Structure 1
């Protein structure tokens, strides 16, 4: 762990919380889901459709998490990588597929696009929000936007809810089970549960995605090439522009077609401190620096695109992410941990609750490091979602228990949808059987997920 990554413990005991106290009870539900990104939306919808009273808490005024606020913009982790096949082979479905259908129905999703040895699809961020809104409301989830979690309610070591803060004041949501889908382990860590932070304190670089409008798309792809990852020729042009004075720290960049005509989604920036240090995006000062520097870098890359490609002469930045794109922060210490060897060895397991064919994509240093998983996938164990200590809490999303390089593969959007559904299935079974999360068999979770359409 590094300085500035551990919030002061914010724990209230259950017997100190009641209506009429300084901590009024806003709601009492079966399950509270913190975070409305891919994992949180999947968890909330699945719980509500199973008949559980569910509330989801989200700090922004919309669902989407890194996919929307961070504008990651793609659903990665769907397709196998291959040196042999030129046809995308989709190996992840389940809630991921269900959400994609919702995007497609609203014309908010592209066809598969080549990404090195694999493929990905890009979505429209507004359509993502609308799809999530529709699914959450149809399922009967109570949604609290513009609301932050500031503490937890415990009964001994049992999680009994969260303390929330909004412009309306402070209140409590009591819940029989809690799903931490915050991405940062915000609930688990506030309760004092164990975690790690990157590779001995070093985390992957954040980035600032942006959308570029005013592009002659047909001409652009002729200039750029078929792959969304830039060619060596473009890398050399970036290096030359950098030598000429533009602030272009990343030379290997990506551009994706979007569902809207004349637009590109660009992942080009690499954010580090003005003094070259790693930015700890849990620390608000570092997070702020990342976003200010990110927006400045976006303008430099905008200038590069206009100067380097005839198809972009009239291009302009439509918008950037609401926040910097975060790849990694806290990782809980789970009952089980997805290891680097599990990923490299393409390990299958009877308790696996999600497939991942995505490469180890480690964003450190001058250019991303890629280790491709060819024509295969590995599976993530159920107990990687269950904290080693604490009762009645489970995590979903990028804060699952995984070693550093393993996390660089398993953290992407398609898998996060599946972690959310797995956490929800486990919550339903836990409440039905009055069992602890760690007592549930991963094989049972897997079986239920197959029944819900997951390909396992």
Structure 2
């Protein structure tokens, strides 16, 4: 049977509806640039919903909220929907994934955006001065022509198909940070937890990170723990029901999310580890004696895969030296947090650095009117271990969408838009919402990225 072909043309196409894609579409629409978001799932949210990772690590910079206007609006939307709490100790916002899906979808549609779900990107090519993206969809093929193409897939799929240069994993071997199957448990007893001397947030919620190394060691000695990590990375309560606990504690090493067979193996191994994780909590951790496996993430969580080769490559030295170039479009204070590609440890460097991410990191070399957003921007393995958190990714998406709106208004290319102009537009959005503007709290240097 031949599939029918649906032809669409639009100024801006965002491929990937995760935090970066949501930020990109929201900003483009805010600036008057008609936009469609395409995603392979039937909902938005990316790792925050598809992987069940409902913890958004929003680290402050010397007590300043560095998050972007779109992120703050999204957070307020979830607060209004009574689906959020914040923990100052972990510096994280916690959300209900199902409400995230609904909230993001409503925000895009209310702003006049269009959505395309259940669509797998199959080809990207140039046609005169437009990009053409082809998707395999339910019962049809979809062909979208656009002037501006924003790659928010995490794996840099559109950029790869368009011919961009790519990094994969670390510089030495190409190995990536491990994947994680996010696990949700039911049956947790918050009061038993509190009675053991542990804290409850707002008298209801649990949120703890890097815990239980001693118990993990005991379980490993007893043959009850085969997960290649030394502790439990993070676990937290769900806002609507504190008896449900989400755990980031599995580790799936040595596999690539850009390989279908390896991703399949990762999904299978993640579910195996999930059973082990639940048994561990039942035996060793107070308040978890009666927990059961509520669900695993609809897909395995991915920390790292491909990144574009951009006009500038963010390095770990940029992060450690707290550089804030004039062309920075996003500020970040999250530490370098790199889970070992092979072993059980984690490289965690928290020196209080606040650094800037230049616009040039989002622009693939030699590709016109393509911008990357989120974890697939141009960076080294170590630098990517810092900015990959979802609030920062949403801000990078907002920067790309802001650039698309400016370019559309001026009949220009993405490459011609200056990072400072993008940042000023985002500052205006902060001011319009009554927010403290992060960029006014820090000094931007004269250093302009020169890498190509």
Q: Shared fold by TM > 0.5?
A: yes
2:221 aligned partner? 243
2:374 aligned partner? 397
Deviations 1:54-74 (A, max 9, x none): 111000011011111112221
1:455 aligned partner? 438
2:113 aligned partner? 141
1:187 aligned partner? 158
2:409 aligned partner? 432
Aligned partners of 2:184 and 2:51: how far apart in 1? 12
Describe the SS at the equivalent of 1:172: strand
1:130 aligned partner? 102
Deviations 1:61-118 (A, max 9, x none): 110111111122211133247xxxxxx6533242111111111111211122523xxx
Q: 2:136 aligns with which of 149, 159, 165?
A: 165
Q: 1:410 aligns with which of 377, 387, 391?
A: 387
Aligned partners of 2:423 and 2:148: how far apart in 1? 20
Aligned partners of 1:76 and 1:384: how far apart in 2? 22
2:235 aligned partner? 255
Q: 1:114 aligns with which of 78, 89, 104?
A: 89
Q: 1:366 aligns with which of 344, 357, 366?
A: 344
1:286 aligned partner? 262
The answer to whether the 8 A contact 1:242-1:249 is kept is no
Map 1:8-407 → 2, pairs under 5 A: 24-80=5-61, 89-115=64-90, 119-155=91-127, 159-200=130-171, 201-221=174-194, 223=196, 225-226=198-199, 228-231=208-211, 234-246=212-224, 247-253=226-232, 254-259=234-239, 260-272=241-253, 278-364=254-340, 365-374=343-352, 376-407=353-384
Q: TM-score, normalised by structure 1?
A: 0.88
Deviations 1:201-236 (A, max 9, x none): 1110111111111111233255484571244xx211
Aligned partners of 2:346 and 2:130: how far apart in 1? 39
Q: 5+ unaligned residues in a row in structure 2: which ranges?
A: 200-206, 431-436, 440-452
Count of aligned pairs = 418
The answer to whether the 8 A contact 2:33-2:404 is kept is no
Q: TM-score, normalised by structure 2?
A: 0.88
Aligned partners of 2:15 and 2:210: how far apart in 1? 37
Aligned partners of 1:107 and 1:141: how far apart in 2? 25
Q: 5+ unaligned residues in a row in structure 1: which ranges?
A: 1-20, 82-87, 273-277
- RMSD value, Cα: 1.9
The answer to whether the 8 A contact 2:23-2:394 is kept is yes
Cα gap change, 1:48 to 1:304, in 2 (>3 Å): same
Describe the SS at the equivalent of 1:114: coil
The answer to whether the 8 A contact 2:20-2:374 is kept is yes
1:380: Cα distance to partner?
A: 0.6
Aligned partners of 1:222 and 1:373: how far apart in 2? 34
Cα gap change, 1:113 to 1:298, in 2 (>3 Å): farther
Describe the SS at the equivalent of 1:327: coil
Aligned partners of 2:198 and 2:380: how far apart in 1? 35
